[in-house]
Every structure is written in structure tokens, then in C-alpha cells.
């Protein structure tokens, strides 16, 4: 392949897909492709899909309908547009995608992205390609790293996949089938990638994985825990902040909880999905913990770091969920004092045990419960944001805001914070006096150094909550 061609990748779903899309972009850059923000002028369009809920897959098919018109238009102009479907819908549906949407030339699963240049070459010869095997080789060994320029363009906060797949088999979830068994990347590769990112100006790293706190990658001396990895990454010059997502309550090991006490760079915010507040439903879900186990983990984290705030995921209308079960879910929102959460209607996924159950809940009931749980979450989120007013927060400035002269950054709790400040401060960590709270974000002014409060003050957060839109969904 030679010459410059254009690549458009549209990502659906979680941050792991965003990360994968970036790595595909970097790999295709080596094959002469430049990224384009629109599908219209692309030579290769990749839809990087999500299969976690029904609607996500349907969105892909309706997008393919739109792209068909673009592909037809390109053909009329004498231009060939190759359409690829990647990600978890590709893994789950395979050839069915080409049957349902014949404009698709190439279907590739999440473990095969490194093969994209070769698969593209085959598709260009008119062969319909489906590659959803779980290969023996590690895709990360073959995916190209981002150039310095690409890293800088992506901003001061970056995601790094450290773990993929899941062995937990929650009865509602399709991930173990689409992403495969739990695999951790080796420590050395992660350090190398994070050092390269930090060297290009990245100040904040979020380690991501479907079950990130089950991390057990090979490092010097054997398998390293996530806590040990975080301790090592915290030593990398230039890095100001570390985060990780998404965690399973069962895997919150003692050393990881202690890392929240010992590592200043590790932010006091944790996305720890509980899914349901009812022990009966947790058992049906095969979550392998009870409500009280979960609350115990929260208490230990707060002991380790009193200013911790938590976000969560909830599923309402799971098979067999009674009004009492749902009341227990509403109650846990208040008990933990969540700062925000994602909440979903249960969506039966073909091939998962929960989808086979006869006691499915009516959609009308699911809709009503979703509204009630979201209202409860919103109430706590608003209280959390309001509790920040009058306090000083460290803000990592990320990009210009909507108003001239304004920047947007993130608080330690991932809240967007809008501040009048010069663009030269992008990438800086600054103390900001919070003056106002909106529904999903904060507003503030640069604080003089003397106004700055102690970073680990237990009183820094009175309501342990954080912001919905800023949570990382994995």
C-alpha cells in the first residue's frame, strides 16, 4: 500500500473501544492512512462496535444504512470505500453482519486489530473477510504505538489498556464471550507505553480493562498486582494523576486499597459497579459478593482515604427483580452516597444465562424503575457538586472551554471544571477555587497558592459522590 488514504473510525461503547480505535489508527498510519473526522471522504470506514446492550448493536445497523448511501455515492464518483465492522458486535455476530448488511467488506473481532492491514488487502481484492478467531499471538505486540504528534493531539489525559477479557461470567453479561478469557499485558510493555505517553506530555493515565483490578501481568519476579503496577507507574516523571477502571468488588485486594492511602498520584475516585442492592439479585447475577461485602469494601477504601468518592453501574429489571429487590437498589444509592452512576435497563443478551430465564420483567416496569433510580442518583450527584462550592480543587487543564479565554479541566473526582485561564495552562495542574456548580460541571477561579487547602483533607468532600457524565464506562 502506498500514498495517503483516509481512515474514519467511529467508536461505540466503552473506553476500551476508544483506546482500540486509537491503536488501529496508529497501525493504519504505518500503512499510509491519515485519520479523517467524517465518513464521507474516507477510503476505509471502521465501526468499532459494542454489544453490551441491544440498542448498541441496533445503532450499528442503522449507521450501516447511512454509510451504504455514502459508499454508493463514492462508487458513483469512481472511488472505492471499504467498510469494516470491528469490536464486540463483530465478534458476536460474525458472518451474520455481512448477511444483514452486504455493504460490509470486513468483519474483525477485538483480538484481531493488528491484522487490519492484511485483512484490508484481501478485502480490496473483493474478498469478504470475517476474522473473529482468538489468535495465539498478542495483538499488542503488533499494534503500532502512537507517534508523538498523535499523542499530543489526543490531549493530556490518556487511556492505557492493561487487561482484557473476563472470567467472571455474570449471568447478564456478554463480555466473557466477546472479549474472551481474562488476559493481563506484561508489566514491561505497560511501563514502556506509559513512559512514551508521559514523554509526549500526557499528565494523567487511566489504566483500563473489563476487570482491571484482576490485573496480574508478568513482571520482574513474577505476576504483579494492579497495586504494584500503580506504585511503579507513579514514579514516571511528568505524570500527575493515575486512575483505573473498571473494577470488580471481589478483586479490591488489600494492597490496592492501601495504594489509595499511599499514592498521592492515585485519584480519590473509584468506579465500583454494584449492579443491584439486593442479595437475591446479586446471587442470580453471579456477582459473587453480597451487599454487605460490597459495603465493607467501600468502608475500607474510605478508611484508607477519607476523601474517596464512588461511582457505580446499576441494572434495573433483571429477571425476577421484585419491587423489594429494587427498593434495596434505591437504598444502596443513598447508603453509599454515590457521586453519580450509569443505570441501565436489563437487556437480554443472546447466549447468556439470564436471557434464558422465564421470569423476564416487563419493559414498562424497567422504564419506570430506571427513571426512579436515575432520579435518586441525580439527587446525590447534585449534592456532591454543590458540596464542592467554596472549596479549592486541583484541576488538570485539558482544553479550551466554550467561552473565549476559558479552559476546561478535571477535578480529582473527574468533574469538568470551567475556569478563565490562558491556553498556556493546558496540561497544568492548578488550584481552583470553586464558585458555582452546574448540573454536570463546576465553575471556578484560579486560586492563589495561599488559598489552597490540603490535598488529602478528610473534610475536602462532605458528600462522597462524583459526576455521572465523567465516569468511565468499561
Q: Which residues bind ligand SAM (CB under 6 A)?
A: 14, 52-53, 172-173, 175, 210-211, 246, 248, 273, 275, 313, 315, 344, 346-347, 349, 473-474
Q: Which of ligand SF4, ligand SAM, none interacts with 176 (beta carbon under 5 to 8 A by kind)?
A: ligand SF4
Query: Of the ranges 61-69, 120-128, 171-179, 451-459, which one interacts with ligand SF4 (CB under 6 A)?
Result: 171-179
CB of 356 to ligand SF4, least distance (A): 16
Beta strands in 308-349 (DSSP E): 309-316, 340-345
The 3-state DSSP class for residue 464 equals coil
Alpha-carbon span 226 to 270, nearest angstrom: 14
CB of 160 to ligand SAM, least distance (A): 17
CB of 30 to ligand SF4, least distance (A): 31
Handedness of CA 86, 90, 92, 94 (dihedral sign): negative
* The one among 81, 156, 175, 421 contacting ligand SF4 by CB under 6 A: 175
CB of 298 to ligand SF4, least distance (A): 18
> Residue 248 or 260: which CB sits closer to ligand SAM?
248
Please tell me what DSSP assigns to residue 117. Answer: H
- Identify whether the C-beta of residue 384 lies closer than 8 Å to the C-beta of residue 340: yes
**Residue 457 CB coordination number (10 Å):** 12
Q: Which of 349, 342, 345, 289 is nearest to 14 (CA)?
A: 342
Q: Which of 337, 287, 289 is nearest to 463 (CA)?
A: 337
Q: Which of 267, 279, 291, 292 is nearest to 324 (CA)?
A: 279
Under the binding rule (CB under 6 A), the answer on residue 176 touching ligand SF4 is yes
C-alpha to C-alpha distances, 189 to 181, 196, 443, nearest whole angstrom: 20, 11, 39
* The one among 166, 239, 259, 332 contacting ligand SF4 by CB under 6 A: 166
CB of 348 to ligand SF4, least distance (A): 14
CB of 54 to ligand SF4, least distance (A): 16
Under the binding rule (CB under 6 A), the answer on residue 210 touching ligand SF4 is yes
Please tell me what DSSP assigns to residue 105. Answer: -
Only one residue has cell 477504601, namely: 301
Q: List, as one string, the DSSP characters of 61-95.
A: HHHHHHHHHHHHHHHHTT---EEEEEHHHHHHHTH
Q: Residue 375: which residues within 8 A CB-CB, separation 6 or more?
A: none
CB of 313 to ligand SF4, least distance (A): 8
> Residue 351 or 438: which CB sits closer to ligand SF4?
351
* The one among 17, 21, 161, 211 contacting ligand SF4 by CB under 6 A: 211
Under the binding rule (CB under 6 A), the answer on residue 116 touching ligand SF4 is no
* String marking each residue 242-271 x if it binds ligand SF4 according to CB under 6 A: ------x-----------------------
- Identify whether the C-beta of residue 449 lies closer than 8 Å to the C-beta of residue 474: no
> Residue 112 or 163: which CB sits closer to ligand SF4?
163
Under the binding rule (CB under 6 A), the answer on residue 351 touching ligand SF4 is no
- Identify whether the C-beta of residue 329 lies closer than 8 Å to the C-beta of residue 356: no
CB of 143 to ligand SF4, least distance (A): 22
> Residue 98 or 226: which CB sits closer to ligand SAM?
226
> Residue 39 or 472: which CB sits closer to ligand SAM?
472
Q: Which of ligand SAM, ligand SF4, none interacts with 52 (beta carbon under 5 to 8 A by kind)?
A: ligand SAM
Q: Residue 303: which residues within 8 A CB-CB, separation 6 or more?
A: none
Q: Which of ligand SF4, ligand SAM, none interacts with 91 (beta carbon under 5 to 8 A by kind)?
A: none
Under the binding rule (CB under 6 A), the answer on residue 173 touching ligand SF4 is yes
Alpha-carbon span 208 to 180, nearest angstrom: 16
| Helix axis angle, 116-124 to 15-30, nearest 10° | 70
- Identify whether the C-beta of residue 184 lies closer than 8 Å to the C-beta of residue 216: yes
CB of 246 to ligand SF4, least distance (A): 7
> Residue 211 or 269: which CB sits closer to ligand SAM?
211
- Binding region for ligand SF4 (CB under 6 A): 166, 168-170, 173, 175-176, 210-211, 248
Amino acid at each position: 500500500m502506498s500514498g495517503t488514504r483516509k481512515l474514519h473510525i467511529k467508536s461505540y461503547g466503552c473506553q476500551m473501544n476508544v483506546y482500540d480505535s486509537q491503536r488501529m489508527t496508529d497501525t493504519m498510519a504505518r500503512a499510509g492512512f491519515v485519520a479523517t473526522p467524517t465518513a464521507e471522504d474516507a477510503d476505509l470506514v471502521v465501526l468499532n462496535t459494542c454489544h453490551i446492550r441491544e440498542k448498541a448493536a441496533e445503532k450499528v445497523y442503522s449507521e450501516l444504512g447511512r454509510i451504504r448511501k455514502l459508499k454508493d455515492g463514492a462508487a458513483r464518483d469512481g472511488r472505492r470505500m471499504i467498510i469494516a465492522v470491528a469490536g464486540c458486535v463483530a465478534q458476536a455476530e460474525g458472518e451474520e453482519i455481512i448477511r444483514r448488511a452486504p455493504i460490509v467488506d470486513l468483519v474483525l473481532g477485538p483480538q484481531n486489530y493488528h491484522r487490519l492491514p492484511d485483512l484490508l488487502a484481501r478485502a480490496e481484492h473483493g474478498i469478504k473477510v470475517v476474522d473473529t478467531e482468538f489468535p495465539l499471538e498478542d495483538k499488542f505486540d503488533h499494534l503500532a504505538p502512537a507517534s508523538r504528534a498523535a499523542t499530543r493531539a489526543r490531549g493530556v489525559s490518556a487511556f492505557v489498556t492493561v487487561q482484557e477479557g473476563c472470567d467472571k461470567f455474570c449471568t447478564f453479561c456478554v463480555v466473557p464471550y466477546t472479549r474472551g478469557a481474562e488476559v493481563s499485558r506484561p508489566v514491561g510493555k505497560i511501563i514502556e507505553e506509559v513512559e512514551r505517553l508521559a514523554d509526549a506530555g500526557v499528565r494523567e493515565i487511566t489504566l483500563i480493562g473489563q476487570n482491571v483490578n484482576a490485573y496480574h501481568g508478568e513482571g520482574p519476579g513474577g505476576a504483579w498486582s494492579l497495586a504494584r503496577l500503580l506504585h511503579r507507574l507513579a514514579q514516571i516523571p511528568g505524570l500527575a494523576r493515575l486512575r483505573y477502571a473498571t473494577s470488580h468488588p471481589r478483586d479490591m485486594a488489600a494492597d490496592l486499597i492501601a495504594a489509595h492511602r499511599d499514592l498521592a498520584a492515585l485519584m480519590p475516585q473509584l468506579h465500583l459497579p454494584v449492579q443491584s442492592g439486593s442479595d437475591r439479585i446479586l446471587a442470580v447475577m453471579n456477582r459473587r459478593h453480597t451487599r454487605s461485602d460490597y459495603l465493607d469494601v467501600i468502608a475500607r477504601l474510605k478508611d484508607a482515604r477519607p476523601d474517596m468518592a464512588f461511582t457505580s453501574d446499576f441494572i434495573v429489571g433483571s429477571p425476577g427483580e421484585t419491587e423489594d429487590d429494587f427498593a434495596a437498589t434505591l437504598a444502596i444509592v443513598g447508603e453509599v452516597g454515590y457521586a453519580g452512576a450509569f443505570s441501565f435497563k436489563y437487556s437480554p443478551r443472546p447466549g447468556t444465562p439470564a436471557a434464558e430465564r422465564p421470569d423476564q420483567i416487563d419493559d414498562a416496569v424497567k422504564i419506570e424503575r430506571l427513571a426512579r433510580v436515575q432520579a435518586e442518583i441525580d439527587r446525590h450527584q447534585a449534592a456532591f457538586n454543590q458540596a464542592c462550592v467554596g472549596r479549592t480543587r486541583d484541576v488538570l487543564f485539558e482544553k479550551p472551554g466554550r467561552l473565549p479565554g476559558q479552559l476546561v479541566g478535571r477535578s480529582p473526582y473527574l468533574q469538568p471544571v470551567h475556569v478563565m485561564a490562558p491556553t498556556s495552562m493546558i496540561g497544568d495542574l492548578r488550584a481552583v477555587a470553586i464558585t458555582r456548580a452546574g448540573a454536570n460541571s463546576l465553575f471556578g477561579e484560579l486560586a492563589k497558592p495561599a488559598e489552597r487547602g490540603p490535598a488529602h483533607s478528610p473534610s475536602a468532600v462532605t458528600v462522597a459522590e462524583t459526576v455521572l457524565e465523567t465516569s468511565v464506562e468499561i
